Every structure is written in C-alpha cells, then in structure tokens.
Chains A and B, each alone.
Chain A
Amino acid sequence: MSIDKNQVKKVAKLSRISLDDSKLESLSKDLDSILNFVEQLNKLDTKKTEPLTSIVDKTLEPRSDKINDGKIKDQILKNSPDKNEEFFIVPKVIE
C-alpha cells in the first residue's frame, strides 16, 4: 500500500486542512514513506491477538448525576474569535 497525491488531497479534505499545491508533492512523499515504515507491522501474524482496549488496569468509574458545572457563559465565549453576548458566530453553514 502507498498513498498518492489524490489520496492525500482526499485525506486533507476529510481533515479539514487546506494544502498548498506547492507542498503537495513533498508532503505526499513524506506520508508515503511514513506509511511504508509503519507497514512493517504486516510481517507480524496477529490473527490470534486481541487488540489492546485499555492501557490502565481499571474500568470506567462513573460520577453521580449532579449539576455542578455550566453557568460560565462568559468563560466559554471569552476566547472565541467571533462571538456576541450569547453565541459563537461562524461563517454561514451551507446545507
């Protein structure tokens, strides 16, 4: 397996990252060499191996159903590049 420029464009689209056409060539080469590198794993037979699901030896610890957060609108909106008193504002969403 390897990755070509079109695939890179597709993945960039999926990642919502605009790419400079001038950089596409070298980027594709980098990604291709990284993928080739990780494909070493194919040499290993893992048919009988279960994937790792958690690296800590514990299970999920739930919290109780209490309201102890929220009501911090000003904090939430403070860092936004575009907002008004009540909302985050973004360029029009085209449906």
Chain B
Amino acid sequence: MEKEKFDYYIKTEKNSWEVVIGLEVHAQVISESKLFSGSSTKFGAKPNTQVSLVDSAFPGMLPVINQYCIEQAVKTGLGLNAKINLHSIFDRKNYFYADLPAGYQISQYKNPIVGEGLVTLDMPYGSKKIGIERLHLEQDAGKSIHDLSPDNTFVDLNRSGVALMEIVSKPDLRSPSEVNSYVKKLRTIMRYLGTCDGNMQEGSLRADVNVSIRKKGEKKFGTRCEIKNVNSIKFMEMAIDSEAKRQVELLESGKTIEQETRLFDTKKNETRSMRSKEEAHDYRYFPDPDLLPLELKQSFVDNLKKKLPELPDQKKDRFIKKFKLTPYESNVLVSEIDISKYFEEVIKNADIKLAKNWIIVELFAVLNEKNLDIKDSPVSPKNLASLVNAISSGEISGKIAKKVFEIMVETGEEPSKIIKEKGLKQQSDPKELEKIVIKVLGDNSDKVSEYKSGKEKLYGFFVGEIMKASSGKANPKLVNDILKEKLKK
C-alpha cells in the first residue's frame, strides 16, 4: 500500500501554516481511595458523601499520601518509556476557587515523579514519535454547579482530592488526527497498565490543549494559546482546528496573538478567551510543608517494571512476528487490551487467519452496530473458535457460517448446537450428492445438451441449481468433482 503523506496545513492565498500542538492530559488514577485521604473515588455518588475532613480542608487537617497512587504513576511512567525520578516533591499551587477547599491544590511543580518519555503513534504516513515532557501527581478539585440556582453556585467536593496524573507532551503534535491518535494511544497504554480507565464521559481523561501556528518550514514556535479542559477527543480535534484558523486569521490580518487561556464552546465550535479567570494568574508554587520529599528506591521501580504487563507496542510486534498479521491488523487487535485478549483466546484452538478476519470484519461490525464493548460480546471467544473450526474442517461453508454467526449473535448459543438444530451441516456424502446431481441434470436435460454442444458457461448454472437443491449445504468441492464427472459422460 502506498503511504499517504502528512498534509495538515492551513492553506490560505498567501501562506501555508503548520499547526503546533502540545497536550496536558489529566488522567484520573485508578485507586480505591483518594491521593491524600481515605475517602472513596467511586464515580456517581450522592453529593458530598465521599468527602473527608481532609478533602474539605478543615482546620488542622493533614494529607497522607496513598502508596498505590505512587505505584500507578510509576507504572504509567514506565509505560511511557519515561525516566522515573527517585526523588520528587509535592508543591502547593495556590488559587482561590469555590471547589478548591484549601485554597491550594497539591501538585508537583519543579520535581515531578516522572520525567521525559516517548510515545509512538502509527499514522497513515508512518510511525511518529511524540515526546513526553513529564508526568506528575496532583489532586483533582471538586465540582461547582452553576445551573441549579440563578444567584448561587452549588459545590460538591466528591471529586476533591482524587488522584490525577498530568501527562505533559512536548509540542510534537502537528494535526488534530495526530492528537486523536496520541490521546487514544495514551489511553490504551493506561488501560493496559490498569492505571486509568480513560472514561471520558465520566471525566477520567481530559486535556488542556496548547495550540500555536507557524509558517511551513519555519523553526521558531509561535505564541501559544491554551484551551482548557477539553473532555472528548472529537472536541479536541474541533477545538484545534478552529483555534488554529483563528490564529491564522489574526496573523494574516496583521494582528498578534496574545498568550492566554481559552475555552472551547462546543455549540458554536469556537474558542473564547477566559480573561476573567486570567486576572492575576500567580500560583505561588512552593513545596508543601505538610509533606516530605518522596524518595523511591530503585528496587521498588525495578519490581514494578518486572510486573509490567505486555504493552501495546510489544504486543503488536509479537502479533506481527508470531501470527503473521499485517501491521494494520495487529494495530487493530492491540488497540484495546480486551480485544487482544479475545483474539488470543480464540486462536488458542483455531486457525489464526480465519479467526482474525472473523474478529476484525464480522465481530467488529456487530459490536459497532450494537455499540457493545468486546467484553460484552454475545459471541464468546470459545464459540467463535468453534465456528472457525467448523469452517476449517469443512463442516460448514463460509456462507453458512455467516448464517450461524447471525444466530450466535442473537442467542449466544454454541455453533455446533445451531448447526445441528437447524440442520446446517455441510452435505459431504458423495452418494447423496450424486443423487442430487443426477436429479438436477435430469430436470435440465435440454441445458445439458446445450452444454455438451459447447455452451460451457452453463456449468455455473448447474452448480447453482445443485446448491439450491441442497439448501446451500452441499460441499462445493465434492459437487464440483461429481458434476464434472457426470457432464463428461
């Protein structure tokens, strides 16, 4: 296949503009309890029921760090091929907001737990490496609800103190589709690791998107704007596109870009300035005196490294080498850990080539249509393997298999049962088949004469009639053999 070329430039009459994007992804850490308190992190609880005195910043309350959240951050760092900093420090980021009870957020500023790393994207124009600047641990804020009353804002602190990982990329991304691919890749890695569920509807994964533009070929970066808190990949793509165009318009009309924080209005499909919040942005970071420096042992990191699951890139390579899959197929099958698990389960006892096609084509179509996760697939890996085996053994034809599959999707039953009950087993008894062939030829004796006098196209017609007469169950190879034999005479 011919490789496509990268072509995301904003072209105007005068110029071709390159878009430079960096992402700060906020990923909620999977943990039972919060980063610095023992209250639950579960989503969807009644307001203020998952709040401790620490989360609501009562006088004299102190943070105590959650061991598991540290492990989760380190695992994620390892998954991003990043440097783990054995010495890191928690800082306070000071600002006032209704859902920030202490008036500061505990975060990591100068000394994050994870340093530089690398993520590889598979783009249609080849693989692309995106640099990771850092990953740090921080607390989430609570939730302000503005639409329950005209004069007041309501505050729910359930989320307050939940652990987040902020993953900062280098400004290496160049298009909305690279951003799409990058966020999905991060999500896949974290899901493999079990460090973040990546559920964007529940806000477990959101991003601040930094966008700047420069003329194609130019080395210097332009002034960037930060689009805050975008919570879906689609919105990220839309926001980048609209923000980049806004910047192009500004520059081409001779204006300058102001470095600022902006919000993406999803209804209007445009970004707007958040100047009111911008006012006196001075977070006054300083090391949190309630916490001590976090010192990790190299052996602790090494242990986590040993226990790391096979990551998507490694799995992909293995699938290509071991199962002779194409990079495309392999990518699809490793894109979610559950898909790869499903695939490996099916091929334990079934033909790989058939199995992968059945998963990628037939199963995915059904899951898509029904909007189901592979975990909830009505067709179990075991049943799909049986189906594939029924095809390879000649028990049923590929065509019948599709019929069986449809029934499997509806009922979740085993294919053998369906084949038996519906009598779909392939007709492979030569004697029985011979009878059918003789009958079809006898019923069409005129066509047989025509065939013998040279109209060989009619061969297909005979096959079709025979299959019809056998309700599609006749073994095509045997039919072929017998038919040829009979027509010779």
Show the binding face of A for B, using Cβ within 8 Å.
Answer: 10, 13-14, 16, 53-54, 56, 58-73, 75-77, 82, 84, 86-95
Contacts and interface: CB of A to CB of B under 8 A. Distances in A.
Contacts of B145: 87
25 contacts: A13-B280, A14-B282, A14-B284, A53-B293, A54-B293, A61-B64, A63-B66, A64-B67, A65-B32, A65-B69, A67-B38, A68-B33, A69-B39, A69-B53, A70-B37, A73-B49, A87-B48, A89-B155, A90-B98, A90-B152, A90-B153, A91-B151, A92-B152, A93-B146, A95-B276
A87 B292 contact: no
B475 to A, nearest CB: 59
Interface string B275-309: 01100101010010001111100000000000000
Contacts of A72: 51-53
Nearest to B56: A76
Interface of B: 31-33, 37-40, 46-56, 64-70, 89, 96-98, 144-146, 148-157, 274, 276-277, 280, 282, 284, 287, 291-295
Contacts of A53: 89, 287, 293
A59 B70 CA distance: 14
Given A62-B64, A70-B49, 18 more contacts: A53-B287, A53-B293, A59-B292, A62-B65, A63-B65, A63-B66, A65-B66, A66-B32, A69-B39, A69-B54, A71-B50, A76-B157, A77-B48, A86-B46, A86-B48, A86-B156, A87-B47, A90-B98
A54 B282 CA distance: 24
B50 to A, nearest CB: 5
B96 A70 contact: no
A89 B4 CA distance: 55
A58 B293 CA distance: 9
Nearest to B72: A65
Contacts of B67: 62-65
A70 B162 CA distance: 13
Contacts of B291: 60
Nearest to B155: A88
Given A69-B54, A88-B154, A95 B37 contact: no
B38 A66 contact: yes
A73 B287 contact: no
Q: Give the secondary structure class of A's interface.
A: loop
Nearest to B45: A70
A70 B56 contact: no
A73 B155 contact: no
Contacts of A93: 97-98, 144, 146, 153
A57 B195 CA distance: 32
A65 B68 contact: yes
Nearest to B145: A87
A75 B53 contact: yes
B39 A70 contact: yes
A53 B39 CA distance: 29
Contacts of A88: 48, 98, 154-155, 157
A87 B295 CA distance: 38
A72 to B, nearest CB: 7
A58 B40 CA distance: 28
Given A56-B292, A86-B48, A68 B38 contact: yes
Contacts of A90: 98, 152-153, 155
B153 A91 contact: yes
A60 B293 contact: yes
Contact of B293 (A59, A67, A82): A59
Given A16-B96, A65-B69, A90-B98, A70 B152 contact: no
